[in-house]
A and B are shown apart, each in its own frame.
Chain A
Amino acid sequence: MTTSSSPSHWTPAGFEEEALSARFTDLHPALGKRQAIIESARCLYCYDAPCIKACPTSIDIPTFIRRIHDDNLEGAASEILDANILGGSCARVCPTEILCEQSCVRNQGDECQPVLIGLLQRHALDNAKFESHPFTRAAHTGRRVAVVGAGPAGLSCAHRLARFGHDVVIFEAEEKAGGLNEYGIARYKLTDDFAAREVEFLLEIGGIEIRHGQRLGDNLAIAELTREFDSVFLGLGLGTSHSLGLTGEDAPGLMAATDYIKVLRQSSELNVLAVPKHAVVIGAGNTAIDIAVQVKRLGAESVDLVYRRGEAQMSATPHEQDIARANGVMIHTWARPLAIDSNTDGQLSAMQFARTRVEDGRLIDSGETFSLACDGVFTAIGQGFDDASLSDVHAAGMARSGAKIEVDTMLRTSLPGVYAGGDCIARGQDLTVQAVAHGKLAAEAIHHDLMLKVEAA
């Protein structure tokens, strides 16, 4: 089987399924019970703990870690989930090195190493045994809220709204819920069907219905939603990938990294996946690292990652860069794509680059060029908001900040009763945990605004 998105000149790398799937198990293996006890004892149970402030969802880290140490895993898990209902995926995908763990006091002085907060969070959630869903719904309010997009932002918003007693309908374009947790995160970060199981758990709260195949701007319009629901939350994510702007970008073998990852994540057998022999990745963010490492692990002979600036400017964290290097990815800096070369069959054969440098604060070509022979190029130079989602007349009037949706501090858009969060808004970093935080905050704002109306009525 070659997937629709892989070109005909790619073939599976010829590894046994077992060998391949072993390369896509947890990048950071879970802690054992003994390790968790030792690690949790390292937490100082700080007062006014800086790690809490560094978590976008403000999980009470000292409290949950103390509970792990007290062998109260259900208490620990409840504390995490109360702040972050997708705490399980966040524990696996968060770049903790720039969030909670970065601000752990155990980085200071002679303390050597931060508490492994992410792994402890995972330990609590993996091992807590709940007899039933740990949250209950407040008395039914009779209010209905539409959520568009079943990604982390939408799901988090829906769960919080359901807890408040509102009824929620999620409109989702794709076949599966989870957003990038299902379709985008590296396969060795969210393994097996974890994303789906987490959604299933979240829906146990009740009062949330998901309607699939519903795409805003296509078979769904904002006006319809604002008419039928008391409030609307948009968690649309970023639906498009930026292109290089070169001629020949439609050459078979050149594609957006996210498209390939989507296929990879959905594939039940890895040994039938077609892979390039020599891949080039353009970009410097975590998506670039993810595609480079995954393609290498799938069996590509070489993977070259090329970025137009230096290592220090890469948005992938040093930790992520190290992972790439450890996986045999060659990182080239100070080079920008110039042209795409194809062979006589019209297949991709090489990519040409211009060397760059900074002069007077501007990035310019140095005049030198080089070429990398390759049969696959993955672009990972950023995701963009998909305007098609807001193409109906009503939606078109929504205020925007650049391409993204503009919101106030309570995540209200310029349209009355319409809120937005996650990657599709201008605020915050494009991270899973940030999307969860937005969803929660928006639900609180929606609840607040709806209840004000009740009082006023």
Chain B
Amino acid sequence: MTIHTPLNEDNARPAGAGANDAASNDHVASYKADLSINFAGIRSPNPFWLASAPPTDKAYNVVRAFEAGWGGVVWKTLGEDPAAVNVSSRYSAHYGPNGEVSGFNNIELITDRSLEINLREITQVKKDWPDRALIVSLMVPCEEEAWKTILPQVEATGCDGIELNFGCPHGMPERGMGAAVGQVPEYVEKVTRWCKTYSSLPVIVKLTPNITDVRLPAQAALRGGADAVSLINTINSITHLDLDRMVAHPVVGGRSTHGGYCGSAVKPIALNMVSEIARTPETANLPISGIGGISNWEDAAEFIALGAGSVQVCTAAMLHGFRIVEEMKDGLGRWMDSKGYQKIDDFTRAAIPNTTDWKHLDMNYQVIARIDQDKCIGCGRCYIACEDTSHQAIMHLAKDNGTARYEVKDADCVGCNLCEITCPVDNCITMEEQDTGKPYMNWMEDPRNPHRAA
């Protein structure tokens, strides 16, 4: 296969240049913020990396991605030869009301190309694109010998780091690899240590979300010497069925199996897991590469504010192509300018101090729903939601012209946000903070708490 050389000069920057992506765009009024990062010693002109998956399967894709402006890639997971073999019909999706994809499911395995070809391509791409981050994802059996063999070969490519794929939820666990390893903290620790022993590269441990407490494998990775963790890998899933054939999608010859779920639907789960690791004192300084449903700059900013030092994207690129990164960079840069953030670090972990346990929340804080009658279009959604399922705090009143008017009964509103969420009009229902005149008091201090320490 021929390796495509970069098409435009802007992208064909020599090593060292392009430390800041904004600078390369000086012919267009753009953002001033510096998007470059140094993640666990890995430099990248911007925090947007392609996650290990089909977009990073081979040189052809990765070169196109770099041309499009991605800061780095995690190469599609390599394994021992013979390479894995995939089935036909591999993806399915969970759709939103307009037919847009909200969640994406796959039953693919790790790379289905030989180790030799992959390593050759990685070497060439890294040589051609020295300023971009190139991380190699690995999954080999949980035996020291296997790691000892593959690590030097990977290091010889000149890549910037390795990512350990402990999170593949399908196909691989049955072979003693992937999620199965990721679910046992001792294995995570052991494999990480082998990697640190047989390689000098930064080691990123990719965590599976198919586990009760994601902090445990993160701590194990840290004990094993990991330089960073990345999360989340995909979540075990069945998206939907063909009810005529009584089989789940994707269908493989009349049968199906669970797959791995990703895309914007998993973002809330991933965000929580990232924040859990970031706010646990033991792992607070462990760099995190945030992954899961990142589709635009805002998603990325949220991951970074909850502790991520870089972000990885798979589904958004698979749905829209590599050009989506331009929108992500532009949006993030402009937003940073508007907030006065000059570099990514300026807001990394910024939301962590405000992310806490329920028991630390202020029991005296009170909001009440307020309906802006000028904006209200009279759909009645807030009313029926509160009436049927919340606190019967909205009144349904008849207007002179026969249409309805909706008003909040302040005394009954508990400030649950349900009406605000169901209202279709932007800023029509707002939750207004009430001055209760009472000081901060958490549950541990609350006299209503039967277990309160006296």
Contact = CB atoms under 8 A, between A and B. Distances in A.
Given A34-B99, A41-B98, A109 B381 contact: no
A449 to B, nearest CB: 30
Contacts of B281: none
A45 B379 CA distance: 8
A132 interface: no
Contacts of A106: 377
Contacts of B99: 34, 37-38
A50 B403 contact: yes
Interface centre among B99, B380, B384, B404 (most CB of A within 10 A): B380
B377 A108 contact: yes
Interface string B375-418: 10111110110000000000010000011100000000000000
B253 interface: no
B321 interface: no
A71 to B, nearest CB: 11
Contact of B424 (A34, A44, A103): A44
Interface in B62-105: 97-99
Interface string A29-51: 00000100110010011111110
A109 B375 contact: yes
A44 B404 contact: no
Interface centre among A41, A46, A110 (most CB of B within 10 A): A46
Contacts of A50: 378, 402-404
Contacts, number: 47
A47 B380 CA distance: 5
A49 B384 CA distance: 12
B383 A109 contact: no
Interface residues of B, number: 18
Contacts of A108: 377-378
B425 interface: yes
B187 to A, nearest CB: 45
A46 B97 contact: no
A359 interface: no
B278 to A, nearest CB: 37
Contacts of A110: 425-426
A297 interface: no
B98 A47 contact: no
B381 A38 contact: no
A44 B396 contact: no
B380 A46 contact: yes
Contacts of A53: 402
A105 B379 contact: yes
Interface string B223-254: 00000000000000000000000000000000
A76 to B, nearest CB: 16
Contact of A41 (B97, B403, B425): B97
Contact of B378 (A34, A37, A105): A105
Interface centre among A41, A53, A105, A111 (most CB of B within 10 A): A105
A69 interface: yes
Contacts of B97: 41, 69
A45 B381 contact: yes
Given A44-B424, A48-B396, A69-B97, A105 B377 contact: yes
A34 B95 CA distance: 14
A103 B378 CA distance: 10
B289 to A, nearest CB: 35
B402 A44 contact: no
Contact of A111 (B98, B377, B383, B384): B377
A37 B98 contact: yes
B98 A48 contact: no
A53 B404 CA distance: 12
Interface in A102-142: 103, 105-106, 108-111
B99 to A, nearest CB: 6
Nearest to B96: A41
Contacts of B402: 50, 53
Contacts of A37: 98-99
Interface string A262-303: 000000000000000000000000000000000000000000
A65 to B, nearest CB: 12
A338 to B, nearest CB: 43
Nearest to A47: B380
Interface string B354-385: 00000000000000000000010111110110
B407 to A, nearest CB: 14
A161 B348 CA distance: 72
A69 B403 CA distance: 26
Nearest to B428: A109
Interface string B412-454: 0000000000001110000000000000000000000000000
A44 B375 contact: no
Given A47-B379, A47-B383, A47-B384, A109 B425 contact: yes
Contacts of A46: 378-381
A90 B402 CA distance: 24
Nearest to B388: A47
Nearest to A111: B377
Contacts of A103: 403
A237 B444 CA distance: 77
Nearest to A53: B402
A305 B59 CA distance: 70
B377 A109 contact: yes
A44 B381 contact: yes
Nearest to B402: A53
Contacts of B424: 44
Contacts of A41: 97-98
A48 B380 contact: yes
A45 B383 CA distance: 12
A49 B378 CA distance: 8
Nearest to A105: B377
Contacts of A69: 97
B406 to A, nearest CB: 9
A35 to B, nearest CB: 11
B179 to A, nearest CB: 35
B60 to A, nearest CB: 33
A37 B383 CA distance: 26
Given A48-B383, A111-B425, 18 more contacts: A34-B99, A38-B98, A38-B99, A41-B97, A41-B98, A45-B381, A46-B380, A46-B381, A47-B384, A50-B378, A50-B404, A69-B97, A103-B403, A105-B378, A105-B379, A109-B375, A109-B377, A110-B425
29 contacts: A34-B99, A37-B99, A38-B98, A41-B98, A44-B379, A45-B381, A46-B378, A46-B381, A47-B379, A47-B380, A47-B381, A47-B383, A47-B396, A48-B383, A48-B396, A48-B404, A49-B379, A49-B380, A50-B378, A50-B402, A50-B404, A105-B377, A105-B378, A105-B379, A106-B377, A109-B375, A109-B425, A110-B425, A111-B377
Closest 7 CB pairs of A and B: A47-B380, A108-B377, A47-B384, A105-B377, A41-B97, A46-B379, A44-B379
